[in-house]
Amino acid sequence: MSFASSLYFTGAEVGLSLTGLVLLLVAAWGGQKSARMVTILAVAGLFGAAIFSMHLFDLATSEVAGRAFGDLYRADAFGSFGKVLIYLAAIAVLMVTPRFFDQRGAYRPEYPVLMLFNAVGMGMMVSATDLMTLYIGLEMSSLSSYVLASFLRQDSRSAEAGLKYFVLGGLASGIILYGVSLVYGFTGGTSYEGIRAALEADLSTGALFGVVFVLAGMAFKISAVPFHMWTPDVYEGAPTPVTAFFATAPKVAAMGMLVRMAMEPFAGQVEAWRQIVIFAALASIVVGALGAIGQQNLKRLLAYSSINNVGFILIGLAAATPAGVAGVMTYLAIYVAMTVGSFTALLMLRDPMGNNLETFADISGLSTKRPALAWCLLALMFSLAGIPPLFGFWGKFVVFQAAVQADLVALAAMGIAASVIGAFYYLKFIKVMFFDEPTRELETESPLGHWVVLGLSVLVISPLGYLLTIPLGQWSAAAAASFTAAM
């Protein structure tokens, strides 16, 4: 593979890196007044990267095609699918971000630049086929995330969220690095293909410990129980647009990284890690549902909802089949739409003074003040709960179907039973928004960009979203086919 071909296959990351460096110069010369222009250019760069990733989706069909830099990186259908979701989520967040920070006079051009470099790291995470590439991408994404969490420097909650995320994120990175060192030590290589060959020949106790440490560190990145402790505090304290970003793009990247690790280097020892994934899946579903019931802050509630949904996604991974991987990717696509829409609706909840509202008390009687927003929020919550005929039901259906086909009937049954718990706190939205009396005045208008993002999200998760089942299923199946040889 020539160097030019390698650069071509990594075109999305190279393009975003160059765009980020150029925008850094623009920010240095233009100062704070260039923030809007830098944001627009960053969105354009992310859109171009998404188009390029779509172009590569069907390109890597041969044994050699798509392998870059000595197979340190692979531009296959799975990576392209994940990167499109990551870039679209970042675009949506950037579209609804400026208004939030403008109200506080804190919007600076460094924000979209950090998002760009974060996207570069996340792209490397889903396409890495070597432990060194994976760790570089992980740290590139994590370092910018720590800064984004504490972006409101004058807000003590934001500073606290950034510090907590930094400390616990550093701990998780250390756990992954220790696991990586054990895997390398007992397999003799860092490439996914070499690790798979070594583990199929002999799974020693030391290598098993390495696998467990790697999976534990990744469980932190996806907010899976028992490594979920940071999620409610960071989601509540970070600026709301940053929370929307954390709940979508990095979640897709971390889940993509976990799926590729499970289906490539660890594919020969499914039974060694399946029990870990099953425990994390069921625990995340139950803890996420029970933890959300008593929450009054909507951002904390959505944090527990995120933990709950991660549990359902892990059921698809536990199947360890092409159908399971396809179910994971389908669920992630629907989850991104639901979560982006939910946080956009929260950003549209403001009092007449422009202060953002975040509690159940703030949305009391919302149907009488802003009926369109109330109905959109209701549809999004019910879709997150998996209530038909909304499209969120389809995401749960495909992962449960994959589990049943993999003879994990008991897991599917327990997942279905546990999902009933989550319906309780979603139903609370009906009571508060449609039956309680209003307790405060609300802003009556929202920017067009917010309505566009919210409208598209609601359209995707509405019954009309079922029109996407065939193409989405085909794309997910093509992504899962990237691991057919490994499975």
Percent pLDDT > 70 in the chain is: 97
pLDDT band, residue 487 (cuts 50/70/90): very low
Confidence of residue 273 (pLDDT cuts 50, 70, 90): confident
In angstroms, the CA 79 to CA 63 distance is: 16
Phi then psi for residue 321, to 5 deg, are -130, 165
Both tokens assigned to 204: 């020693």
Is the pLDDT assigned to residue 64 strictly greater than 50?
Answer: no
Single-letter code of the amino acid located at 85 = L
d(CA 68, CA 387): 43
HSE at residue 327, side-chain half, CA atoms within 13 A, is 29
pTM of the model: 0.92
User: How confident is the model at residue 95, as a pLDDT?
Assistant: 92
Q: Are 380 and 458 within 8 A, CB to CB?
A: yes
Q: Are 189 and 198 in contact (CB under 8 A)?
A: yes
Q: Are residues 85 and 336 in contact, defined by beta-carbon separation less than 8 angstroms?
A: yes
Question: Contact 20/140 with Cβ under 8 angstroms?
Answer: no
Nearest to 450 by CA among 344, 308, 305: 344
384-408 pLDDT tens trace? 888 888 998 999 999 999 999 988 8
The mean per-residue pLDDT over the stretch 44-50 comes to 94
- State yes or no: pLDDT of 280 exceeds 50: yes
Reply yes or no on whether the pLDDT at 441 is more than 80: no
Q: Above 50 in pLDDT, residue 480?
A: yes
pLDDT in tens, 187-215: 888 888 888 888 887 778 888 888 889 98
Mean pLDDT comparison of 285-299, 394-408, 413-427, highest-scoring range: 394-408
pLDDT, greater one: 400 or 106: 400
pLDDT band at 59 (very low <50, low <70, confident <90, very high): low
CA of 333: how far to CAs of 37, 295, 328, 378, in Å? 29, 26, 9, 20
Which pLDDT tens digit goes with each residue over 144-157? 999 998 888 777 88
Sequence-distant (≥ 6) Cβ neighbours of residue 94 within 8 angstroms: 39, 42, 43, 46, 112, 115
Concatenated DSSP letters of 443-485: -----HHHHHHHHHHHHHHSGGGGGGHHHHHHHHHHHHGGGTT
| Mean residue pLDDT across the chain | 87
The two tokens of residue 372 are 């369109």
